[in-house]
Structures are given as structure tokens and as C-alpha cells.
Chains A and B, each alone.
Chain A
Amino acid sequence: MSTTRAAPPGRTGRPPGGPRPATRMSWRDRLHRFDLRYVPYLLVAPFFLLFLVFGLFPLIYNGVVSLRHYRLDDPTLTGWAGFDNFARLFTDSDFWNALYNTLGIFVLSTVPQLFLALVLASLLNRKLRAQTWWRVGFLVPYVTPLVASTLVFGVFFSRDHGLANWALQTLGLGDPAAPIDWRASKPAAWTAIATMVNWKWIGYNALLYLAAMQSIPRDVYEASALDGAGAWRQLWRITVPMIQPVVIFTVVLSTIGGFQLFTEPMLFELNSQAATGGSNGEWQSIAQLIYKVGWKDLNLGYAAAMSWALFLIILVVAGFNSWLTSRFSGGRR
């Protein structure tokens, strides 16, 4: 290898054409070399260190715990459990119920959320009065603290004095004699929670889409308009295929967020410390079940196994969704 011979090892990073030190380097040169070679690593290191401490280590430790017996209320029970904790998942009706709830709420929230965000973004992409005001307005739900908004929604969706029932009755959709008990059935509870998620994330996704849309050249639209394409056709034939990377990004992101749903179901509960997601687990999400198993049933080994299962489920679903999205929004290639 002629290049390695020409430049001694350890100095390969030096920019070509620089002045070669005659005998030994001055401290300025050393500083320069340090700046060039080491500072970039120093600058990226904090992220990786934090990831190591708060990301990778817990992940691995969690994996170890999931293979062990670990009960807080029974310190005598220790040792390796093998795959017992994982095997138990398959017969645990609570886990399947939580998975079912999570999927249901995920579909009810993600699909309308991304669809409405797309429509809103394309509306915002036109010439509007008070454009900045609208754009900032859409971001307000995103900056509202999650706990605060969820508590307000909890009151909004209450059985006896809730605004949701009042609004439905005013519109003639609800029966005043039998108000909807939002916490008594799966469809009602899922709708309520999906509403909270949608409210929070539509604006955020719309702004992401908007940013991507603004990089689409105008003349593409003009050309298609000349060919007689309407706004709707333009949206699906031009906009969506051209912002596809962002669409995939938001799909993956909302898949991860949707499967880790925790605060909303947790605070929707009247007695949130029970963490059962309704008296019959109507809206208990997986993350909430993990919390319950770990901190209420005090079975940390089993909770860790559930966390790993959730991790794998998210990987699979996010992969599937991004594949689906790229097929769906790809248009003609």
C-alpha cells in the first residue's frame, strides 16, 4: 500500500498539501492537529456517553433482568428464570388485552392524525392571511405539557358533567338520559384517548410536512395544473410522493410513540394509582401494564420481559409500517 507508506500511521487524517514539519512540531501545530483530529470526537462523545448510560446500559440490564426471577416483595426468590418470563407472556390474557388496546388506540390515533396533518399542511402551504399565526397556532398543543392537557381531557370526557357529552347532546347525537360513560367500554375509552393523542400531534406533524412541502419546486405544481390536476390530485400525486421520506419518518415516529402510550391512559383513569386502565382493563396500554406489573405487582423480572417484548413488537410494526408507507406513497417510480 503506497499511501500508508507515504504517510506514517496516525497521521492519515492530516489534510493533504499542508506544510510538513521539518524536525519537530511547534505547539501551534500540535494544537492544530489536536483540533483537527480529536475535537470532533470530543464533541460527539457526550451524546454517545449519555446514550451508553441511559440507553444501551438499561436495555442490556433490562434483558438480563428479564431472564431472572426478580420480585421486590420476595427477596428470597432469585436466580435465573431462563425464558419463563417470556413464555408466560403467551398465556397472559392481560398482556394480549393490553396489546389489543394499544393497537386499537394506535390505529384510531395514527391514521387520522397523519392524514389530517397532511391535509392541514397542504392548506397551510397556500397563500393565507396571518400565515405565521396559523402555523404557531398548530404548535400550541405540542408545547402544552402532556399531563396538564390530559387532566383537562379527563374532565372533558367525564360521565356526568363532561363537555364531550354536553357537545354530543347539543348536536343531538347523545341521549341526555343515558350519557356516554367514557370509561366503561373499549370503543368509548379508545376514542377518548385517541382524541387526546390526535389533538397533541396533528399540528406537530403538519409542520414537519409543511417544511418538506416547501422544498417542492413550484413549477411541478404549475405543470400539473396545466395538465388539469386539481388540488386533491396534486396532493396525492405530487406532494405525498415528493415528501415521502418525511412521511416515513413521521409514521415510524408515531408508531414508536403510539406503542409507548403511557401518560394518557394512566391519567385517564379515575384512580390512576391502580394502573389497571379501567375496571376491566378497557384501555390499559402495554406501557401501563409494564408499570403495573413492575411497581404494583412488584414483579420486575416479568415487567422486564414485557419491556423487551414491547421493544421487539415496536421494531416489527415500525418496519412493517415504513415498508407499507413507502409502497403506498411511492406513486410511480
Chain B
Amino acid sequence: MTPSWTRWARAIAVGAVSLTMVAACSGSSTRGGSDAGGQVTLRINFWGDFGLDQLKSRYEAANPNVRIVLNSGEYNAQHEDLQKKLVAGSGAADIAAIDEGFMVQFRSQSDNFVNLLDKGAASYESRYLPWKWKQSLSADGKTQIALGTDVGGLAMCYRTDLFAAAGLPTDRDQVSALWPTWDAFLEVGKDYTAKTGKKFIDSGTNLFNPILGQQPTGFYNEQDQLQMEGGPKVAFDYTVKALQAGISANLTSFQTDWNRGFTSGSFAALACPAWMLGHIKETAPSTEGKWDIAAIPGGGGNWGGSFLTIPKQSKHVDEAYKLLEWLIQPEQQIEVFKQVGNLPSQPALYADPAITEFTNPFFSDAPVGQIFPKMAQGLTPQYLGRRNGPTRVAVENVIGRVQNNTLKAEAAWAEAVKAAEKAATS
């Protein structure tokens, strides 16, 4: 034995001891899941407001052994967090919400989610809008990773006070009649801007997305090949035309200036999926009664809509499924609709008086229970490719460059195609 060898042995021994200490420390901090006495804690991760606050206490009262923890976060951050937890192998919530825009990404990792068909979810298929059911179903039809909550039927929200000031009609039927097509909408916008000197809409991207949603095809075909010449070109050309007409306030959605715009009147109209109603009410409570809802030009359309999944990491799959099943029952879905405006994705409910007769006082008593279902029903939704999210961001960025005058409108389309192609392959 040489001295240097013993020194190594010593170092290793000390290392091993310390490692055990570290391990011991981390071992004691296991996450609380099931507590003593059969108590089960279920965590639900989502973003914004899913209208779950009251449902939570009702469910807990009926099931004394269950405690529900609601964890609301930022939209993108929640999806990213879920993705990280799936890679890491632990830490995901018992029920994780996923938006339509991220569904393709997570559907391709269906191994990480509980197959709800094994739990008996197949009986719910007939209740759902067929396309909603299919969005979260694996390609071979054998794995259903999620049950849908809401869909984002599209309408157009507008400020009645600003419309009146510009000499435009304020009644929702008359307003709807003003813009049967997007071209007519552009004319109304020009008229408004000329009369008031103010901008008409919030941003170019919030024209691009709804118009793209109305086209028969999106960025990708069913073979997941990029096809910019179809729907994207129609939506992009119109957006650029609107930007050149100078009717856009060029704000970025969900940013401070945009949120402030709801109150300050930086814009008078914006495309409004059902879930946007809750956002407007929350960010601009002082504008109660100044909003109304008209039909969107071009008829129908969908923007967003969510699903609830159970990651396989959950330690209480059975309890989680029980809760999930309860949440998508008609009674609860109607309750959510009344609370925050999220439109259920089960068409049978659209005929339910609780929905058809519901009006939203914040939006001048608009009959939202009739407006939004109409938009959601007659819809043939697009196929959203695997790279849909990044492609959309890339094209939105090109629109942003037109908005801040660093890109000429004439060169924009070529640039958009280039950016989309890059996003498709990155």
C-alpha cells in the first residue's frame, strides 16, 4: 500500500459518507401526496381562470377524503412546466390542462399520460364535438390522453361608447350587418380611424389568427407538410392590407399596453373567442356595460380551447380520474360557462336552457349562450401540425416587423414563407 492510495481511499470514504448525508436530506423532503388517514391531495395545473374555485369546494364537500389544490399559472409557462416535468419523470400535477395549440406536441408523447379509454372514457365520445374528441386522440385511435373542456368559438367584441362617438351603430345586430366580410370590416375600420383619429383594432396578429382559423387549411396538411399558399396566404395578405390602412394600434397581446388598451380605448374592436370574455372582465372591470358582442366577419371560427389530462406520474390516478370525470359533467360545465364564459365542447349543452338563456351583464347583456355555440357548431377545424406553434410565432414575428416598419409590406410575404420554412424544420 502506498500513501497516495490510502489518500484516495480516504477521499472516497469521506465522499461516500457525505453523499449519504445529502441523500438523507433529500429523502426526507418527499412531496406530500397521500396523507395519513386516507387523505388524498389532487393538484390541478392550468392557466388564467378555468372557473374552478367554486367547483373545488363543492367537490371537497362531497368527497371529504379529497383535497384539491388549484395552481393557476401563465399560459406558456404552464405548458413548458408540464413538458419539463414529463422529461424529468416526476413532479407533474395530478390533472394538467393543455391548450389546443399544444395538444399535438403532447399527444405525440402519449406514453406519458394515462390512457383515459382504459378508465372507461369511451362512453363520453358521443357527447363531444367530433373534432374536439379527435384532437387529443392518438393517430391509431387507441389512446385518448384528454377530455375536452371548452372550445373558443369566435365573435367580435366591440366598445359601444367608442362606436357611438364615431357615429357607428351600436346595436349588435346592426353592427354584425356592417361587416359580413373581412373587406367590409376593413372599410368600417378606415371609416372609424378617419373620423376619430384613433386606431380601430388591437394588432395585426389578432387579425391574422382568427382569419387563418376560418380557412379550410392551416399551416400544415395532414402529412405534416408546410403549405403556406393556402390559408396562411389569405390571412397574411389581408393582415398586411389592414396594417397599411393604418387601423391597427400595433400592440402585443397579453402585454401591459394591450391590457391598458381595454380601458383607455386604444382600440375599439377585437376578435373575441369565448374565453376572452373572462380576460376583458378581469383586466378592465371599469368598462362594464361599454362592451358588446357581434358576429365575426366571414362567419364561424375557432381560437383555442382546452383539455384536461392525467400525467402517468400522478400517484392518485383513480382519484384524479374521478375528479376529471366529475368536472366534465354537464352541470359543472354549465357552471364554468356562467362563471367565466368558457364555452363547453359538448353540443348537447348548446340546447340547454341554462346556456341558451344566459346573457352576460358585463357585455351589455349580450346573449353569449346563443352567439358562441352557433360559431362552434358549424365548424370544420383545421389540422394543426406538430410544428404549428413555432410556425405561428415565426409568421407573427414577420407581421411584427411590418408593424414596426422594419420590413416593407411588399417584401413581407416572401419573408413570412422563409420564416415559416425555417420554423418547420428547426
Contact = CB atoms under 8 A, between A and B. Distances in A.
B14 interface: yes
Contacts of B80: 295
Contacts of A276: 393, 397
A270 B252 CA distance: 7
Contacts of A41: 10-11, 14
B112 to A, nearest CB: 9
A75 B3 contact: no
A140 to B, nearest CB: 25
A225 B187 CA distance: 78
Interface residues of A, number: 38
A297 B19 CA distance: 36
Contact of B404 (A155, A183, A271): A183
B61 interface: no
B10 A42 contact: no
| Residue of A41, A74, A183 with highest tally of chain B CB at under 10 A | A41
A73 B108 contact: yes
A293 interface: yes
A135 interface: no
Contacts, number: 93
A233 interface: no
Contacts of B404: 181, 183-184, 279
A37 to B, nearest CB: 7
Given A10-B3, A276-B397, A184 B406 contact: yes
A9 B6 contact: yes
Contacts of A75: 108-109, 111
A131 interface: no
B83 A298 contact: yes
A4 B405 CA distance: 80
A319 B256 CA distance: 43
A270 B255 contact: yes
A193 B257 CA distance: 20
A49 interface: yes
A87 B2 CA distance: 47
Contacts of A185: 406
Q: Main SS of the interface on chain A?
A: loop
Contact of B10 (A37, A46, A73, A293): A37
B89 interface: no
Given A10-B6, A42-B17, A279-B401, A271 B257 contact: no
Contacts of B397: 274, 276, 279-280
A41 B16 CA distance: 12
A30 interface: no
A307 B368 CA distance: 50
A53 B19 CA distance: 10
Nearest to B110: A75
Nearest to A282: B406
Contacts of B393: 274, 276, 296
Interface in A221-256: none
A61 interface: no
Interface in A256-292: 270-271, 273-274, 276, 279-280
Contacts of A274: 393, 396-397
A56 interface: no
Interface in A89-106: 94
B406 to A, nearest CB: 5
A216 B77 CA distance: 51
Interface string B321-344: 000000000000000000000000
Nearest to B400: A279
Interface string A154-189: 010010100000000000000000000101110000
B289 interface: no
A72 B10 contact: no
Nearest to A42: B14
Nearest to A274: B393
B355 to A, nearest CB: 33
Interface in A144-161: 155, 158, 160
A12 B7 CA distance: 10
Contacts of A94: 422, 426
Contacts of A317: none
| Residue of A45, A155, A181 with highest tally of chain B CB at under 10 A | A45
A271 B14 contact: no
A296 B390 CA distance: 7
Interface of B: 1-3, 6, 10-11, 14-15, 17-19, 22, 74-77, 80, 83-84, 87, 104-105, 108-109, 111, 252-257, 386, 389-390, 393, 396-398, 400-401, 404-407, 422-423, 426
* Shortest beta-carbon contacts, A-B, top 7: A279-B400, A273-B76, A270-B252, A279-B397, A45-B18, A184-B404, A41-B14
10 contacts: A9-B6, A41-B10, A41-B11, A46-B22, A49-B18, A160-B257, A271-B255, A273-B77, A274-B393, A293-B426
Given A10-B3, A280-B407, 4 more contacts: A181-B404, A270-B255, A279-B404, A297-B390
Interface of A: 4, 9-10, 12, 37-38, 41-42, 45-46, 48-49, 53, 72-75, 94, 155, 158, 160, 181, 183-185, 270-271, 273-274, 276, 279-280, 293, 295-299
